Amino acid sequence: MGSDLPPPAAVQLCFENLNGSCVKTSYSPGPRLILYAVFGFGSWLTVFGNLLVMISILHFKQLHSPTNLLIASLACADFLVGVTVMPFSAVRSVEGCWYFGESYCKLHSCFDGSFCYASIYHLCFISLDRYIAVTDPLLYPTRFTSSVSGICIAFSWLLSIIYSFTLLTTGANEVGLEELVSALTCVGGCPIAVNQSWVMVNFLLFFLPTLVMIIVYSKIFLIAKQQARKIEGMSNKTVGSSDSYKDRVARRERKAARTLGIAVIAFLISWLPYFIDSIIDAFLGFITPTYIFEILAWITYYNSAMNPLIYTLFYPWFRKAMKLIVTGQVLRENSSTINLLSL
| Residue 342 confidence class, pLDDT cut points 50, 70, 90 | low
Whole-prediction pTM: 0.87
Q: Of the ranges 50-54, 136-140, 192-196, 265-269, which is most confident?
A: 50-54
Q: Give the tens place of pLDDT for each residue, 6-33.
A: 444 567 889 888 888 999 987 888 999 9
pLDDT at 150: 95
Q: Is residue 197 in some structural domain? A: no
The CA distance from 84 to 212, in Å, is 29
Which of the pair, 151 or 282, is modelled with greater confidence? 151
pLDDT at 1: 45
Taking 50 as the threshold, does the pLDDT of residue 2 lie above it? no
pLDDT at 102: 87
Taking 50 as the threshold, does the pLDDT of residue 343 lie above it? no
Q: Is residue 234 in some structural domain? A: yes
pLDDT at 222: 80
H/E element, 21: none
Of 266, 241, 39, 76, give the one whose Cα is nearest residue 160.
Answer: 76
Report CA torsion sign: 313, 315, 316, 319. negative
Q: Give the tens place of pLDDT for each residue, 174-208.
A: 898 888 888 888 899 888 889 999 999 999 999 99
Which of the pair, 220 or 95, is modelled with greater confidence? 95
Taking 90 as the threshold, does the pLDDT of residue 214 lie above it? no
Q: Is residue 250 in some structural domain? A: yes
Q: Is residue 224 in some structural domain? A: yes
- Counting residues of the chain whose pLDDT is more than 90, the rounded percentage is 42
Tell me, what CATH number does 68's domain have? 1.20.1070.10
Tell me whether residue 161 is exposed, middle or buried, using C-beta atoms within 10 angstroms of its C-beta: 0 to 12, 13 to 18, 19 or more: middle
Taking 70 as the threshold, does the pLDDT of residue 245 lie above it? no
Tell me the residue range of the domain where 229 lies.
29-168+204-278+293-337
Taking 80 as the threshold, does the pLDDT of residue 228 lie above it? no
Inter-residue contact 123 to 267 (CB < 8 Å): yes
Q: Is residue 96 in some structural domain? A: yes
Q: Is residue 8 in some structural domain? A: no
Q: Is residue 310 in some structural domain? A: yes
Q: Is residue 6 in some structural domain? A: no
Structural domains counted in the chain = 1
Taking 80 as the threshold, does the pLDDT of residue 314 lie above it? no
pLDDT at 251: 63
The CA distance from 100 to 114, in Å, is 19
